[in-house]
Structure 1
Amino acid sequence: MKELEVKNLYTLTETLAAPLLSRVTYPWEALPEIGAFIMELGASLSEEEYEKQGENIWIARSAKVAPTAFITGPAIIGKDAEVRHCAFIRGNALVGEGAVVGNSTELKNVILFNKVQVPHYNYVGDSILGFKAHMGAGSITSNVKSDKLLVKVHTPEGDIETGIKKFGAMIGDEVEVGCGSVLNPGTVIGRNSNIYPLSSVRGVVASDSIYKKQGEVAQKR
């Protein structure tokens, strides 16, 4: 399904992860490689722009990181990013330029493109968020199925087998996720779409859509 391909979900000029994402067809194929990619990329970053702190953690000198935030490597915090009070970054996290990781937000095995905002009580695991994507307060990605089986992406054209047990959500550029929403394992949201607050989303939401509830999705005009 063409809409689910990296080139149709994301603007690769808006992330340091472009070399990783450009060599896969579907974005979830990059999930197992995020940690190794960060290690390789971090070692190449300019020491004038990035400071290595702790083990395999690179933080841009222009970034703002609260003293109460906890970061485990490998991780890269991009230029002008903000990591707020009590944020918990559990490793394998690439936080883009100008991104916001808010109070009590937890990240694990993720790529946040530039200008992404996960500002209030969010959990984002095994996921990729595109340029200027925003998750409302309390919205989360659920990254493991209750039956612990491998995740499938449910599309109108049939299921896509991912071969991955942990897979949260692939969120395209400039997506708005409403407060208190749950993005179930294997969710893919196309560019410029909006998710109503308190939604439980699974499968594919087409680009330029307004997701109101399961079975009720409108196209933007």
Structure 2
Amino acid sequence: MKKADTKITELYDLTHTMAKDYLMQFTYPWEALAGLSDFITELGKSLNPEEYELRGENVWVHKTAVVFDSAYLHGPVIVGPKAQVRQCAFIRESALIGEGAVVGNSTELKNVILFDAVETPHYNYVGDSILGYHAHMGAGSITSNVKADKKHVQIHTEEGDIDTGRKKVGAMLGDRVEIGCGTVLNPGAVVGRDSNVYPLTSLRGCVDRNSICKRDGEISPKRED
């Protein structure tokens, strides 16, 4: 993946998130992580109270969304229309959950944007990450957002590394990305639109759009029908 392919405009259709105007301020998606908490708080205050219910300090839930009683939401959090936050989900803070998105049982979120129709349905950890429209994380797949040496996370592209300037960066998943069950997305992983990552993969680096990433690290373009 080239540096240009890691840009927000290459990974995401911004019409599928309430964060459109916010994200348009940046070139790369990880740049949006630093101010995400403040953005969600201000956005929440602007929401129509006839459509969104305030369920605690800086926690806004759309009246068509379903949040199970056993789920825990710590603001700032916005749960969009028709979204589901299922049993024992743990939303620590700074989460923007898009329309029709699913946060499943025992899934944990922290400092994330989930675009519309994102699915994190079973035992997922998603931290310091942005998941594009209709992205799906298989059961038990997680983002690892801190390097073992605690140094800045680097984005590994064909043209060299990009220093994010942050110690915490999870994964940037483009629109319609499919992550297989049990996969670990290592810090700074970027997966282009319409790509698949096989189950039980430990992914480091970047995957081009419309590609398949196999467990042995081999990346190949998808075949055209």
Q: Same fold (TM over 0.5)?
A: yes
Taking the TM superposition and a 5 Å limit, the aligned residue runs for 1:1-221 are 1-221=3-223
Q: CA deviation at 1:214?
A: 4.7
Q: Would you say the 8 A contact 2:199–2:215 is kept in 1?
A: no
The sequence identity of aligned pairs, in percent, is 62
Take 1:20 and 1:142, find their aligned partners in 2: how far apart are those partners? 25
Q: Secondary structure at the match of 1:67?
A: coil
Take 1:70 and 1:113, find their aligned partners in 2: how far apart are those partners? 20
Decide which moves more: 59-68 or 207-216.
207-216
Q: Secondary structure at the match of 2:34?
A: helix
Q: Which runs of 4+ in 1 moved over 6 A?
A: none
Measured against aligned partners, the alpha-carbon deviations of 1:11-38 in whole angstroms (never above 9, x if no partner) come to 1000001111100000000001110000
Take 1:148 and 1:213, find their aligned partners in 2: how far apart are those partners? 26
Q: Would you say the 8 A contact 2:200–2:215 is kept in 1?
A: no
Q: CA deviation at 1:147?
A: 0.7
Count, aligned residues = 221
Take 2:218 and 2:40, find their aligned partners in 1: how far apart are those partners? 39
Measured against aligned partners, the alpha-carbon deviations of 1:88-123 in whole angstroms (never above 9, x if no partner) come to 000100000000000000000000000000000000
Q: CA deviation at 1:215?
A: 3.8
Q: CA deviation at 1:213?
A: 2.9
Q: CA deviation at 1:2?
A: 1.2
Instruction: Tell me the amino acid that sits aligned with residue 82 of structure 1.
Output: Q
TM-score (norm 2): 0.97
Take 1:3 and 1:36, find their aligned partners in 2: how far apart are those partners? 27
TM-score (norm 1): 0.99
Q: Secondary structure at the match of 1:91?
A: strand
Take 1:2 and 1:214, find their aligned partners in 2: how far apart are those partners? 26
Instruction: Tell me the amino acid that sits aligned with residue 127 of structure 1.
Output: S
Q: What is the alpha-carbon root mean square deviation over aligned residues?
A: 0.6
Measured against aligned partners, the alpha-carbon deviations of 1:32-68 in whole angstroms (never above 9, x if no partner) come to 1110000110011011110111100000000000000
Q: Secondary structure at the match of 1:32?
A: coil
Q: Secondary structure at the match of 1:213?
A: coil
Q: Would you say the 8 A contact 1:201–1:214 is kept in 2?
A: no
Take 2:206 and 2:219, find their aligned partners in 1: how far apart are those partners? 11
Take 1:178 and 1:53, find their aligned partners in 2: how far apart are those partners? 34
